[in-house]
Structures are given as structure tokens and as C-alpha cells.
Amino acid sequence: MNNTILESLIDDLVTANLILFNEGVLDAFGHVSVRNPHNRDHFFLARNMAPGLVTKEDILEFNLDGEVVNNDPRKVYLERYIHSEIYRERDDVEAIVHSHSHSVVPFSVVKSAPLKPMCHMSGFMGTHVPIFEIRDVAGDKTNMLITNRKLGSSLTQSLGENTLVLMRGHGSTVVAPSLKQAVYRAVYVEVNAQLQIEASRLGPIEFLSEGEAQATQVTNEGQVDRPWNLWKTRAIKAQKSWLPEV
């Protein structure tokens, strides 16, 4: 195992948590994970804590049953099964972000206003964004959380081959072939949702065509280091301003 590569990946996972918090995608809740490149049946995810406070020491390794691999006794996220089941079914996925970003949630409950890419930065969303309905799987008395493998598997089926799935009254889950792309996508899902809400007040919206969505995805996601480096610098600076001991 190349420890340098692994350490760099863990550093990036910490950074991803800070970026997503600073950019308003995550708050005290939500989480981001990345697959272990040396063991594709394992992934890394922080312990149960606010993303904006995550450090290297808080990162745990999980297997595809959603269990910690080294018997670490610290509390873990209840919804780790989102990650474990998607990694189990989608070999193309290397990183996952689950969030409750504020502008996205309304699109999970208003079926007459589907979330679609209207901005060239969000072509990765594709022309159809599925919505997971937990009532179809577990009835109408759940806590809305993905707290076991069955629910995680059902969510994965709703996701299908897409990059994004909304979760009715809950939030969304974004997948990507790299950690930086997952962060990029999570940020621009929220941006697109904000823009779509604003544009809908003006009149009918001209959304991206399927061809435009595909072409813009290829172009923009080839440049993910550009926003990543900006967001990283901004997040670290912001954290130091409100958490002096870091």
C-alpha cells in the first residue's frame, strides 16, 4: 500500500468536508466519503460529527456492510448505508456527498417543478433527476433517514446510473468518479437550484439540452482543480477566523 497516496486522499477528504461546509452545502449535518483505492470494498468517512470540524483523526474506514473495519468505538453516521450500498452497486463511483442543501430540498417535494440543469456549470445533472420516495420502501412512519442496508439499496436503485438523486423531504446524494468532482457537483447542484428558483419567478425556463449537458460536463469537469483550489483556500481561511485553535 502506498501510504503517501492514502495520506493525500485522507487530507483531501478532510478538505472536502471543510469546503462543503464553507460553501453552504453541508451544515452541522451531511457527509462526504471516498473509496479506498487500495481496497475497493472499503471507503473512508468521518465519524459522527459536524463536517466543518473534521480533522484527519476523525476519518474512519468502513466496509460495504457499513461497518467500521478496525472496531473503532466512536459514534458513526446513521446514514453510512447511503455510501456503502452505492459503492457496492456502482463500481464507477469513487466519492459520494449526501447533503440537505437548502435550495435543493424544495425540488424533492414539488413534483411539478423538476430539478434540471439550466446553467452550463451543472450539465452533469443530466436531463432527468430521480427522486427517492422512502414511503415506497418503508411506509409513512419512518424518520426519513437511510439507516440500514435495505434502504441504502433502494436509494441506490433510484439513483440508477445517474449522478444525482433527490430524497423527498430530506436532501440529495451526489456521486462522482473522483472526490474533487463530487465536491464540484455538490456545490453546483445547490447553485443550479438557487438559479432555477430565481429564474422561475421571471418566466418559463430554457433548460440545457441533453447534448449541452453532456458537452458542458466534459468541459467543466476537466477543470475541477480550479474551483477546488479556490474553495480550499477560502475554507481554510474561514475556519481559522472562527476556530482560532485550528
- CATH for 3-224, among 1.10.260.40, 3.60.20.10, 3.40.225.10, 3.40.47.10? 3.40.225.10
| Cβ burial 205-236 (10 Å sphere, 16+ → b, else e) | eebbeeeebeebbeebbeebeebbeebbeebe
Q: Distance between CA atoms of 226 and 204, rounded to whole angstroms?
A: 32
The set of catalytic residues is: 79
pTM for the whole structure: 0.96
The answer to whether residue 245 scores a pLDDT higher than 80 is: no
Which residues are CB-contacts of 71 (< 8 A; sequence separation ≥ 6)? none
91-143 pLDDT, tens digit per residue, is 999 999 999 999 999 999 999 999 999 999 999 999 999 999 999 999 999 99
Give the C-alpha separation, 90 to 96, whole Å. 11
Domain boundaries, the chain: 3-224
- Flag whether pLDDT at 244 surpasses 70: no
